[in-house]
Structure formats: structure tokens, C-alpha cells
Structure 1
Amino acid sequence: MTESTGNTAGPGSAAGSAAGPGSAAGTGSAAAGGGRAAQLRSSGLRPGWTTGACATAATKAAYTALLGGEFPDPVVITLPKGQQPAFALAGEELTPGPDGPAAMAAVVKDAGDDPDVTHGAVVRATVRPGAPGTGVVFRAGPGVGTVTKPGLPLAVGEPAINPVPRQLMCEVVAEVAAAHGASGDVEIEISIDNGAEIARSTWNPRLGILGGLSVLGTTGVVVPYSCSAWIDSIRRGVDVARAAGRTHVAGCTGSTSERVAVAEYGLAEDALLDMGDFAGAVLKYLRRHPVDRLTIAGGFAKLSKLAAGHLDLHSARSQVDKGFLASLARTAGADEELVAAVAAANTGLQAVQLCRAAGVPLGDAVARAARETALDVLREAPVAVDVICIDRAGTVVGRCEPRTNRG
């Protein structure tokens, strides 16, 4: 379920926004500040927009045309963190149709400098009036997958349009409906040109998402990853935290786990390290440049890879080991029936859900095992490590207390 795309100044550029993800402002040393934003500036890489952001922009343009007869171009949307990018339309069509009117708008996905299989893909939204009282109904058009297995944040049979993009599209529908005095009862069909072919290069078929790609994104912004640039930015983040006198830092796999770490410990921005997939980079640098405490926070599936000994958590370089999870579940008290169910789970999320329902603390077991991997890498560095595992909604599903190799 890979995200991304990117043109130098393509249709997804941040025209009209104060400082869009593609802005070059601030590139340079992370010493100007700390945390996620400073790491991105120091990497020198240009961010882009997720398929979810593109689908939201296309939906807003199409629904506006359906109600008012004109497509806004460019079309501006508001993302969860307040950015307001403007998207140029790559296509538009307003048709009466045998079953009522329909409007289609298309946006080309720009993922900035992130190497991604969906870069340059055409994301289309077709909006039709819905039956009164039905609200917003999502459909998978050509090139968008359908969920066929449990364990994902969507029910079996649903279009593979993730929760945050759905929320963003519902918000723009409500906005446009209010402006035109409409009910907001619509059917939204999202399609991606050549999506079925592109999806063969992703993990979607193995996860039971069939027929195309997933529409993804939690912030609307694609954070680009060049291994060398991002690892360097992690090191600069540690340097900034130490220079500011921070004794407790958090290495987070993404924005949701970052929010959890802040909520749990009240950490300052310059104590936050955007670890992403590079757990090894954080640990190896802290081994040479220690702080008193490191919290590792991230999604359960990613941290289960760390628990299994992987230091690069990217899906292309490590996978969730269900057999390993099954062995941890057995150790945590699962009976053999549950152990077998964990081993056969479709995703790590499904495995932890099965165990939580049975009262088996698999999440805590994964957190402890991830802590042991981290301590092995830190060797004798005087760094106490604790781990927090979360689900996609940011709910803590596993954790362990801080421990150091010296105590």
C-alpha cells in the first residue's frame, strides 16, 4: 500500500498556499529548530500530496460543478494540519447521464521527491446525487481496490479508501453542500488510471485488496524518503535535542505516533525525532550520542518488525512475521487455537485485535521485544528505552516500561 508521486512543479504543487509541502523555504540545517518539520527542512527533499489529498481535491471540484455547473480550477482544500494546497485539474466532465447528472474531475498525483509507484497517477472522482438521507457513499472505480480480507481498517467489501481520506472527502462535500443549499447526499466513485497494473507493484494483492490501489494518507502530505538524506536529518534532530538540553526524546514512525508521544509525555517539538522506517539510524546515533531516555512510538505492525530484529521497517525491506507474533502470543498466554489464528492473520493489526479480544497482551509482548532489540543495538549506552505500540486510530495497544542495559 505504497503512497507517492512527484513532478518538479506539477498539478499537485502548493500554488496559493502560504508554505506548501513543496516549499524550499527553510532548507538547511536542522539547528534552526527541532522535530518533524525541521527534519524535513534539513533533508532538502520536496514533499508531495497523497492519493487521499488528490481524491479530495477532485471530489470538491466535481461536486462544485455538479451543483453549480462550473469546475473550480485550481481547487483548494484544507488538510488535517491546516495546509491549503491548490490543485490544478487534469480533466473535467459534466454529463446528464441516464440515471441523473454526474461530474468527474481528475488530478495528477505529485509525491514530491519520494520514489513511489503512484507518482504521476491520474486520480479521478466522479460525483453523483445520492438517495435522500444516505449521506456520502463511496464506490471503487477502475483502478481502486476492494477489501476482501479482514484485518484492515475497512470492512470486507468496502472500497480501499482509507478512513482519513474518507473524512476529508466528507468534509468537502459538507462545505460545498452548505454553499449551495444542498443536502450532501452523494455517491463518490474514486478511480485511478492504470491502478490495477500499478497495484501489482504493491503489497495490496497479498493483503487481500484486489482490483487496484488503495487511497491513502493521514496528513495529506507525502513525506519523501531518501535514505541518506533522512538518516542525516535524524542525526541532526538528535543533535538539536541534545543542544537544547533534552534528556527524553521520542523516535516516532509517523505523525499519529508523534501525537501519542506528546500526549503521553508532554515532549517539546525539538525532542521529537521523525524516525520513519529508520529505527536503526536512531539507535546507532544515540549509541554514540546518548540521552537519558528514548521512547519509541509507532504502529503495531512496524514495531513488530523491530521486535523481530529488523532495523529498517520499510515494507520493501522487512515484513510482519506472523509466525513470530504467534510465538509471542503463546508466551503471553494464548491457547493453541488463538496461536493458530494469529499465525494465519492477514495483517499485524488483525493479530493484535484477535489477542485483545481474548485478553492476551500481545501488544505489550511486542513492545518488550522491540525494547530488547533497541537495547541490543544501544549496547552499553546509558539510554533507557520504552516502547509504545498504537493502532491506526492512535489507540495504545501495547507498551512497556523504560529499561536500560545498565539497570
Structure 2
Amino acid sequence: MADTDKEADGGTPHLRRGWTTGSCATAATRAAFEGLVSSHFPDPVTVTLPGGQTPSFALATTASGEGWARAGVVKDAGDDPDVTHGALILATVRPAATGAGLVFRAGPGVGTVTRPGLPLAVGEPAINPVPRTMIARTLDEARAAIGGPADIEVEISVEHGEKLAERTLNGRLGIVGGLSILGTTGIVVPFSCAAWIASIQRGIDVARASGFTHVAASTGNTSEQAVKALHDLDDVQLIDMGDFAGGTLKYLRKAPVPRVTLALGFAKGVKLGQGLLDLHSKRGSVDLEALSAIVADLGGSDTLVRSVNGANTALEALTLCRAAGIPIAEAVAERGFATAAALIGGIGMELEVVLFDRTGGFLASTGFRKA
């Protein structure tokens, strides 16, 4: 949903991969179930991932009592800078009422869904569908091997999860009380973008389901806070798109809202206007020659055109233009609008591109108009 498990093909080469919270919760559940049924906790415990891999996990803790058993696994996110790296993921299993089947509970540190629009119903523990399927599968495998009850309650907890969740987007998405248990492949790929894209999509889903008709997608905290103040937006309307303008716009075409604002810093606005949809510095740089050509079209002097072409940064180019009274920010915003409109045009959405400076100061807006 909104934490930081990152899964994708590719990723940065030569970095060690890790395991999602869903994989760790599955391993802990398998060990706890076997502890409940046989009083023996397998250590290490092996589980099957959606792709068929069968990793083994060392247990960090075990406990049991009358009618319950618990096991814990420490999450290893590999070389990814993951919020949940090193967190203790705990599963407590108990027999459930006859006919109940598999029942999930949110223990301490795992959130509960409070808003519509997510792949789980309101009131459900924030244990995503794929981890639920993984847990169900591992319990089936365990019952086939050692027997045990078909009706089971599984409570997943994360030590210090409520505090860790403050560093995620869970609160904005209406997941309260802790983290989400995530994973689609079970494997964390260092520095991949899949989790960020998923958070963008879930943010749009929640805003739509909450009845909002306007969302603002921003490239960073400064532009986000500035556009929030500009339009007096609720947090649910704010989408942290980072550098993923293309991913955001493509999803909005599938899941449209009547009004969309793109809020960017000047340099990323220039890149968007150049036609770039991934705004990361590794994917493309500001084209100062093209920017200087815009300055010439706007009536800038030959000296200014040469200065912009030779500027060290987009910020320097902006400063030079503003000092000369050249409306470069307005022109850049319009070019960004054209890039975005090419992706979401023709389906009735109104689009606005707004640019802010590094302090959140307003630079330019295209105003809302049909894409």
C-alpha cells in the first residue's frame, strides 16, 4: 500500500536483494503454526514465494502458551534503504471458530484500513492481498505436512511499527495504527521504483474513493506544501509523484479525476517541458540550449540568450531571466502542460501545471483548462 517494500525487475545491479514484509510475515506464520500444532518451531523456516522461490528465514523469537503460538523474523531488506529494514515481524496463530477459515488480525504496529479506495475493505488489517495469499498457501502446505486445524486466526505485528509508519504515506491513505504488510513478488529489489509507483496509484484510488474531484501531484515536499496552500487541499488530495510524472499521468488516464494539478520546481518543470516523463537527473538533464531558444523567442537579448545557454544550472537561468523581466517560468509551465496533456488529453480532465521556486514561492501557473 504505502510503505517502502520495493519490488521490480531490474533495479541497481550488484546490490543484495532482500525480503518484503509479506515474505517475513509468511515465514513467521508458518513457524508459529507448526509451533502451535507440534510444539516444534522450524528454524530456519522455508516458504514458497509467488515466483516459486523457496527462501529460508531464521527465527528471531518464539513463544507459545495454551491455544496460541508466536514466531518472529527480522526483516532483511538487502541493500535497499527500506524503512522496515531490521524490523521484527511477528505472527501469532490461534485456533479460530469452526467454519471461520483463515482470519487475519492487525496486531501492534500493523495498521487498519479506514478509507475506501485500497485493495482491502475498510476495517480490514493492512495486510495486502498477495501476502494474504502467501500466508494461506503456507498454511495449506503445513497442514499437508503435519496436519492441524483448518480454522486459524493469524495476527501479524511489527515491533515499533506505529512509529515506523510515521515515515510512510500510510496516514494519508487512511491506514492508521501502523505499517502495511506488503509484497507482490516477496523480494525487495534495491532502489527499484515499483513501490513508489504503487503508492502513487493507491493515493489516486483513495482520493477518488473519498469523493475528491481534484488531486495535486508534486515532485517534492516543497512543491507539495506550496500547492496545498495554493488550493487549500486536503492531504488525501496530495500525490507524492517524485520523479514519476509519466507513471502518474498514465495512471490518471486509467483512473481519471476531473481536475489535476502538477506542482513542480523550475528545473523539473523544464524537463517536463522537454518531453521527459521520468524527471530524475539520471534520466535526463536540463537542456539549456533549448531553454535559451525559448528566451530568444520571448524577446530576450542576445547577451541574455548566451548567458542562459552557458548557465551552470536551471536556477541560474531562471534568476537571469527574472532579473531581465523575461517570463520564462510561464513559458516553461506551458510546455510542461503540453507534455502532460499529450498523455491525458481527450478524456475531459482539466489540467494545471504550477511551478514553484526552491522556497515554495510561486513562479507560474497555466491555470486549469481541458487537457
Which of the five TM-score ranges fits, normalised by the shorter chain? Answer: 0.5 to 0.7
Aligned to 1:363: 255
Is the CA contact 1:92–1:104 (under 8 Å) kept in the aligned structure 2? yes
- Equivalent runs, 1:224-243 vs 2, <5 Å: 224-225=190-191
Are the counterparts in 2 of residues 3 and 117 from structure 1 also a CA contact under 8 Å?
yes
SS at 2:274 equivalent? helix
Give the aligned partner of residue 189 of structure 1.
155
Instruction: Kindly provide the CA deviation profile for residues 268-297 of structure 1, in whole angstroms up to 9, marking residues without a partner as x.
Output: xxxxxxxx76xxxxxxxxxxxxxxxxxxxx
- For 2:111 and 2:203, the matched residues in 1 are separated by 21
Whether the aligned pair in 1 keeps the contact of 2:74 and 2:87 (CA below 8 Å) is yes
1:234-273 → structure 2 map (5 Å cutoff): 254=194
| Residues 322 and 209 of structure 1, relative CA distance in 2, 3 Å threshold | farther
Residues 71-93 of structure 1, C-alpha deviation per residue, up to 9 Å, x if partnerless?
11000111111221110000011
Query: 2:95 maps to which residue?
Result: 129
Residue 378 of structure 1: SS of its match in structure 2? coil
Show CA shifts across 1:47-88 (max 9, x none): 211111100000001101111221110001111112211100
Q: Structure 1, residues 6-27: CA drift from partner, whole Å, max 9, x if none?
A: xxxxxxxxxxxxxxx9xxxxxx
Q: List runs of 5+ in structure 1 lacking aligned partners.
A: 6-20, 22-35, 231-252, 256-275, 278-297, 328-342, 350-359, 389-407
> What code does the residue aligned with 1:178 have?
A
Q: Paired residues, what number? A: 255
Indicate the residue corresponding to 1:3 in structure 2. 4
Task: Give, in whole Å, the separation in 1 of the partners of 2:108 and 2:180.
Answer: 12
- The 1-side partners of 2:149 and 2:238 are apart by 39
Name the CA shift for 1:156/1:364 in 2 (closer, same or farther; >3 Å): closer
Between the aligned partners of 2:100 and 2:128, the Cα distance in structure 1 is: 20
| 1:43 aligned partner, one-letter code | P
- Letter in structure 1 aligned against 2:24: C
* 8 Å contact from structure 2 (residues 4, 168) kept in 1: no
In structure 2, the residue matched to 1:214 is 180
- Quick one: structure 1 residues 70 and 320, their matched pair in 2 at CA, closer, same or farther if it must change by over 3 Å? farther
Query: Are the aligned partners of 1:3 and 1:51 in contact in 2 as well (CA < 8 Å)?
Result: no
- Within 1, Cα distance between the matches of 2:217 and 2:147? 56
Match runs of 1:129-208 below 5 Å: 129-208=95-174
Identify the residue that residue 311 of structure 2 maps to in structure 1.
none
Q: Which residue of the other structure, out of 52, 70, 75, is the alignment partner of 2:22?
A: 52
Structure 1 length-normalised TM: 0.52
| Cα deviations by residue, 1:238-269 (Å, 9 ceiling, x for unpaired) | xxxxxxxxxxxxxxx639xxxxxxxxxxxxxx
What is the deviation of 1:206? 2.6
Quote the offset at 1:205 in angstroms. Answer: 2.2
Q: Alpha carbon RMSD of aligned pairs, Å? A: 4.3
Q: Which residue of 2 aligns with 1:107?
A: 73
Distance 1:85 1:188, change over 3 A: same
In structure 2, give the amino acid aligned to 1:72. Answer: P
How far off its partner does 1:194 sit? 1.1
* Aligned CA distance change for structure 1 residues 347 and 68 (closer, same or farther; 3 Å): farther
- Match in the other structure for 1:117: 83
In 2, distance between residues paired with 1:58 and 1:309?
A: 37
Tell me how far 1:107 sits from its aligned partner.
Answer: 0.2
Tell me which residue corresponds to 1:377.
Answer: 274
The question of whether the paired residues in 1 share the 8 Å contact of 2:216 and 2:227 is answered with: no
Whole-angstrom distance in 2 between the partners of 1:205 and 1:309: 17
TM-score (norm 2): 0.56
Tell me which residue corresponds to 1:73: 43
Kindly provide the amino acid, as one letter, of the partner of residue 254 in structure 1: A
- Please say if residues 113 and 120 of structure 2, whose CA atoms lie closer than 8 Å, have aligned partners that are also in contact: yes
Report percent identity of matched pairs: 48
For each residue in 1:29-55, what CA deviation from the matched residue of structure 2 results, as whole angstroms up to 9, or x when unmatched? xxxxxxx65x33x52221211111100
**Which consecutive unaligned segments of at least 5 residues does structure 2 have?**
208-214, 240-251, 263-268, 277-289, 291-340, 345-371
User: Are 2:47 and 2:55, in contact at CA under 8 Å, matched by a contact in 1?
Assistant: yes
Amino acid at match of 2:117: G
Aligned partner of residue 26 in structure 2, secondary structure: helix
User: Do the aligned partners of 1:154 and 1:160 also contact (CA within 8 Å) in 2?
Assistant: yes
2:164 is paired with a residue whose SS is: helix
SS in 1 for 2:71: strand
Structure 2 CA distance, aligned partners of 1:144 and 1:120? 16
